[in-house]
Amino acid sequence: MERQTQSYLRKLFGRRGISPRHRLGQNFLVDLNIHDLIVEQAAVAPGDMVLEVGPGAGALTSLMAGLGARVLAVEIDPGMAALATEAIGAYPNARVLNVDALASKHAVQPEVLEMLARGREGRPYKLVANLPYNIATPLIMNLMVDDAHRPALAVVTIQKELGERMMAKPGDAENSALSVILQALADVEIARVLPPSVFWPRPKVDSAVVVIRPDPARREAVGDLAWFHRVVREVFLYRRKALRVVLAKLAPEGVGKPQVDALLESLSIPGSIRAEALSVPQWIALAAALQQSWGDVKPTEEEAEPEADEG
């Protein structure tokens, strides 16, 4: 198959009477060297099971299928799904599924998970994709907090700003629930920063190839992942407030500030600290102590200020 350069895509789209749809985050990676870099970082090999979301016209899909990987490509746009299907026509080991990868902000489409489960047959899989910007955070978060469907490795092209947020450290303004949860479960690194010029149409921001390597030992240290996820998200909804104030707000009936202060003192965590200043080990210790002492937290209130794109 001919490699999908910008000129190739322009001619192809012109013949089909279609054009990139900004609403769906369609920016096509047209630097062929970056396709090779992504495949190299993911160590795509014969027999691998790969989930790709947002394949566009199927350039990366056909490259991975040609290496012998079994690829499930999920594409919401019917026109692009048709092009991707044509691109993989010679590869029975690849399939395009024309659905939205997300059932909601907090859930992956069940059909995607079912097909992925059938394809991987209980074995690990990799998430390898040039992700549409608008679904990158919820897709990655939903897969990472799901023990049954967490990838063994993820290599994704996303906004550089989002990649930096994933790697934010305690005290950084960019530190968020996403940062904490990903770093509690995995190593995260930026393999390459990508300028707008490697895409067509050109986005207005830099992008990055980000590698996420889940670590089973880190997952074990977290303990009850659903509870940890909930505590981190709830507390970050009030990120501008002192931790003791936030916990008092979220505490069950009968638990007041004196009990909150005592719990924080037992963990050597200052009550005046804010969410973004806590380290991952502190978050893990805090969540475990809250579960043991409280067993529940109140649902967030309407005046909370949720962070954008926080899964």
Where are the chain's structural domains? Answer: 6-220, 223-293
CATH number, span 223-293: 1.10.8.100
Res 222: pLDDT: 98
pLDDT tops 60 at residue 276: yes
* Of residues 59, 83, 233, 279, the one with CA closest to residue 71: 59
Res 290: pLDDT: 95
Q: What is the mean pLDDT of the chain?
A: 92
User: Mean of the pLDDT values across residues 281-298?
Assistant: 90
User: Mean of the pLDDT values across residues 204-233?
Assistant: 97
pLDDT tops 70 at residue 220: yes
Between CA 78 and CA 120 the distance in angstroms is 25
Between CA 29 and CA 113 the distance in angstroms is 26
Res 97: pLDDT: 98
Residues in the chain: 311
Res 214: pLDDT: 98
Over the stretch 105-142, which tens digit does the pLDDT of each residue have? 999 999 999 999 999 999 999 999 999 988 999 999 99
* Residue position matching structure tokens 């509690």: 184
* Of residues 244, 242, 235, 264, the one with CA closest to residue 177: 235
Q: Percentages helix, strand, coil for the chain, rounded to the nearest 5?
A: 45, 15, 40
Between CA 305 and CA 307 the distance in angstroms is 7
The one-letter code for the residue type at 59 is A
Please say whether the dihedral angle defined by the alpha carbons of residues 50, 56, 58 and 60, taken in this order, is positive or negative.
Answer: negative
69 pLDDT band, cuts 50/70/90, is very high
pLDDT tops 50 at residue 303: no
pTM: 0.92
User: Mean of the pLDDT values across residues 71-91?
Assistant: 96
User: Mean of the pLDDT values across residues 220-245?
Assistant: 96
b/e map 144-170, b = 16+ CB within 10 Å: bbeeebbbebbbbbbbbebbbbbbbeb
305 pLDDT band, cuts 50/70/90, is very low
pLDDT tops 60 at residue 307: no
2 pLDDT band, cuts 50/70/90, is low
Res 299: pLDDT: 62
Over the stretch 138-191, which tens digit does the pLDDT of each residue have? 999 999 999 999 999 999 999 999 999 999 999 999 999 999 999 999 999 999
Between CA 167 and CA 183 the distance in angstroms is 7
* Residue position matching structure tokens 């495949």: 39
* Residue position matching structure tokens 């920063």: 193
Between CA 204 and CA 225 the distance in angstroms is 36
User: Mean of the pLDDT values across residues 6-27?
Assistant: 82
What percent of the chain has pLDDT above 90?
82
What percent of the chain has pLDDT above 70?
95
Alpha-carbon separation of residue 243 from 4, 238, 269, 291 (angstroms): 51, 9, 9, 16
Q: Which tokens is 40 given?
A: 């190299």
Q: Rg for the chain (alpha carbons), in Å?
A: 21
Q: Which tokens is 98 given?
A: 């024309």
Res 8: pLDDT: 82
- Would you call 206 helix, strand, or coil by DSSP? coil
User: Mean of the pLDDT values across residues 59-86?
Assistant: 96
The one-letter code for the residue type at 228 is F
Alpha-carbon separation of residue 266 from 65, 248, 253 (angstroms): 54, 16, 21
59 pLDDT band, cuts 50/70/90, is very high
User: Mean of the pLDDT values across residues 236-258?
Assistant: 93
CATH number, span 6-220: 3.40.50.150
| Residue 93 or 5, more confident | 93
